[in-house]
Amino acid sequence: MKRKLSIIITILMIGMLGVIVSGLTFGDPVDHPMDRYFIENSQEESGANNVVTAVLFDYRGFDTLGEAAVLFTAALGASLIFRKRRDD
Amino acid sequence: MQMSSIVKTTADVLFPFILIYGLYIILHGHLTPGGGFQGGAILASGVLLLLLAYRYSESTNIVRQVMMKTLESTGLLLFIIAALSAMVLGAGFFFNWLSPLGSIFGDSVAYGSTVANLNTGGLIPIMNIAVGIEVVGAISVILLALLSGIQEKI
């Protein structure tokens, strides 16, 4: 009984996901004025040919700084947990 | 357990090529798809290849944990110093002051879709290199820490 119910719920969930996804427009994004701005002005404002890098290191530099700090903290925590113990 | 000599030779042959590919991805971050994070991850995958092919005690003679920790700290410090260096000149944090100067990484960009010039970008390539150094150090430290717990039969 429980097994049948779980199977029915799973099928319902997959069907709902299919209905939701079929309504999305992949590969056809809405033309947003901010996208236009980045594509047209990022070369002369940041000096980089790659728009993605210009956004990553110039417009959203604080985001990259936070990512680097998160990675630093992760390495710090991993080396702290797996450190060599003296009593081994 | 000892890996076979096929695995060791393959790792030895592939390691320099992975190194060159990762450095290319980092250095061309402002021209082509890629950048510091991606190139650093590729370099760290080369380090992982060495760590898996050889025994832990053997490979830590080449890949030292202190060296990787130093790389990690150096990368983050270089990134923050590069960001702070704009404030010395009176501009804002992260301002790209190096871009139109004509010195290192300072050529002006040819606008539109033209042939890319490596010597452009100003502070962006320097930050890419800093992030690449930091990522290869951090991922190698995590891998070394995780692999150090495995008991190996000799």
Q: What is the ipTM of this complex?
A: 0.83
Closest to A60 measured CA to CA, from B46, B56, B124: B124
Closest CB to B109 among A49, A74, A84? A49
Separation between Cα atoms, residue A86 and residue B18, nearest integer Å: 37
Q: Is residue A22 part of a domain?
A: yes
Q: Is residue A18 part of a domain?
A: yes
The predicted pLDDT at position B3 comes to 83
Q: Which residue ranges make up each domain of chain B?
A: 5-148
Contact A69/B at CB under 8 A: yes
φ, ψ for residue B117, nearest 5 deg:
-115, 125
Contact B71/A at CB under 8 A: no
Separation between Cα atoms, residue B129 and residue B132, nearest integer Å: 5
Contact A55/B at CB under 8 A: no
Separation between Cα atoms, residue B118 and residue B136, nearest integer Å: 23
- Of A8-12, A46-50, B110-114, where does mean pLDDT reach its minimum? B110-114
Separation between Cα atoms, residue A77 and residue B136, nearest integer Å: 16
Q: Is residue A24 part of a domain?
A: yes
Residue B127, CB-side half-sphere exposure with 13 Å CA sphere: 31
Q: Is residue A28 part of a domain?
A: yes
- Locate all alpha helices (DSSP H) within chain B, ordered by sequence: 5-27, 36-53, 56-59, 65-88, 123-147
B86-99: average pLDDT:
82
Smallest Cα distance from B17 to chain A, Å: 25
Tally of domains within chain A: 1
Q: Is residue A65 part of a domain?
A: yes
pLDDT digits (tens, 9 = 90+) for A25-74: 777 777 888 888 888 888 888 778 888 888 888 888 889 999 999 999 99
- Please report which confidence band the pLDDT of residue B154 belongs to, taking 50, 70 and 90 as the band edges: low
Contact A71/B at CB under 8 A: yes
Closest CB to B142 among A46, A48, A75? A75
Instruction: List CB contacts of B108: < 8 A, sequence separation 6 or more.
Output: A47, B99, B100, B102, B120
Structural domain harbouring A19: 2-81
Say whether A56 and B35 touch across the interface (CB within 8 A): yes
The predicted pLDDT at position B150 comes to 75
As a whole number, the mean pLDDT across chain A is 86
Mark residue B146 as left, alpha or beta (left: phi above 0; alpha: psi -120 to 50; beta: remaining).
alpha
- Tell whether the model's pLDDT for residue B74 goes beyond 70: yes
B23-30: average pLDDT:
91
